[in-house]
Amino acid sequence: DIVMTQSPDSLAVSLGERATINCKSSQSILYSSNNKNDLAWYQQKPGQPPKLLIYWASTRESGVPDRFSGSGSGTDFTLTISSLQAEDVAVYYCQQYYNDPFTFGPGTKVDIK
Amino acid sequence: QVQLVESGGGVVQPGRSLRLSCAASGFTFSSYAMHWVRQAPGKGLEWVAVISYDGSNKYYADSVKGRFILSRDDSKNTLSLQMNSLRSEDTAVYYCGRDLSGAGNYWGQGTLVTVSS
């Protein structure tokens, strides 16, 4: 199984500042046939289902603000919130869908400093 | 608009069975693969299973393989998860989701399953 790790476990960022979350997979999740990384990022707020932010590592889901961006390839990925807003307080998860089981990372909690 | 509504959760004793359903509307259900993920109280997300758009392929997490069975009824726009031999560690909120290239881009509000004697 592909193991997903995230860092940090939690971070606190001032409003308007940048937040950066890292995700690492235990093996490459770059699909060679289309040169896409099978990596998604989700946001989850308390009592709510997950919300897809990014798929294919860097493609923003429809309706997601452009302050959210994803980058990386192979085994190392990053979710960046360019200017943190109050409504961005949540837990963020990465997930690989390269191989079943489609494993999630443990999550990173983002708070306001 | 896309809507997914889970049902069937509740309290069940260890070793017993439970069947979850997910009613889909607002899209052509038969064109999409569908996922289940779960979240134990206070814990992170765990992917459970996926079924292809035509039902021909099903994949399961190791933790539920051999105990859970995923199926779909395209005539009723319904996804089902038959959960057998339930364990305390299966206690979680279960979410169904519509597939987008392997990820899930629409999710229901979830149904709580509690396995306890």
> What would the pLDDT profile of B34-64 be if each residue is shown by its tens digit?
999 999 999 999 999 999 999 999 999 999 9
Give the whole-angstrom CA distance, residue A11 versus residue B38: 24
| pLDDT score, position B37 | 98
User: pLDDT (tens digit, 9 = 90+) per residue, B1-43?
Assistant: 999 999 999 999 999 999 999 999 999 999 999 999 999 999 9
| Best residue in B35, B47, B96 for a mutation probing chain A (most A CBs within 10 Å) | B47
Q: Closest Cα of chain B to A35: distance in Å?
A: 14
Give the whole-angstrom CA distance, residue B93 versus residue B70: 17
* SS3 call for A87: helix
Cα–Cα nearest to B102, from A73, A59, A106, A107: A59
Contact across the interface for A101 and B59, Cβ inside 8 Å: yes
Set of chain B residues whose Cβ sits within 8 Å of the Cβ of A103? 47
Q: Are A22 and A113 in contact (CB under 8 A)?
A: no
| pLDDT score, position B101 | 86
Q: Which two tokens stand for residue A29?
A: 């999740």
Give the whole-angstrom CA distance, residue A50 versus residue B108: 9
Between A and B, how many CB-CB pairs are < 8 A? 66
Pairing type for strands A90-96 and A108-112 reads antiparallel
Set of chain B residues whose Cβ sits within 8 Å of the Cβ of A56? 101
Question: Residue with structure tokens 């860097």?
Answer: A58
Mean pLDDT by 10 residues, chain A (113 residues): 97 98 98 94 97 98 97 98 98 97 97 97
* C-alpha B28 chain-centroid distance: 18
| pLDDT score, position A64 | 98
Nearest to A101 among B44, B62, B103 (CB): B62
Set of chain A residues whose Cβ sits within 8 Å of the Cβ of B52? none
Cα–Cα nearest to B45, from B92, B8, B113: B92
Q: Which two tokens stand for residue A79?
A: 């979710």
Neighbours of A59 (CB within 10 A): 16
| pLDDT score, position B99 | 93
Q: Closest Cα of chain B to A93: distance in Å?
A: 8
Set of chain B residues whose Cβ sits within 8 Å of the Cβ of A100? 50, 59-60
Contact across the interface for B60 and A101, Cβ inside 8 Å: yes
Q: What is the DSSP track for B38-84?
A: EE-TTS-EEEEEEE-TTSS-EEE-TTTTTTEEEEEETTTTEEEEEE-
Computed over every residue of chain B, the mean pLDDT equals 97
Contacts of A31 (CB under 8 A, 6+ apart): A37, A38, A98
| pLDDT score, position A23 | 98
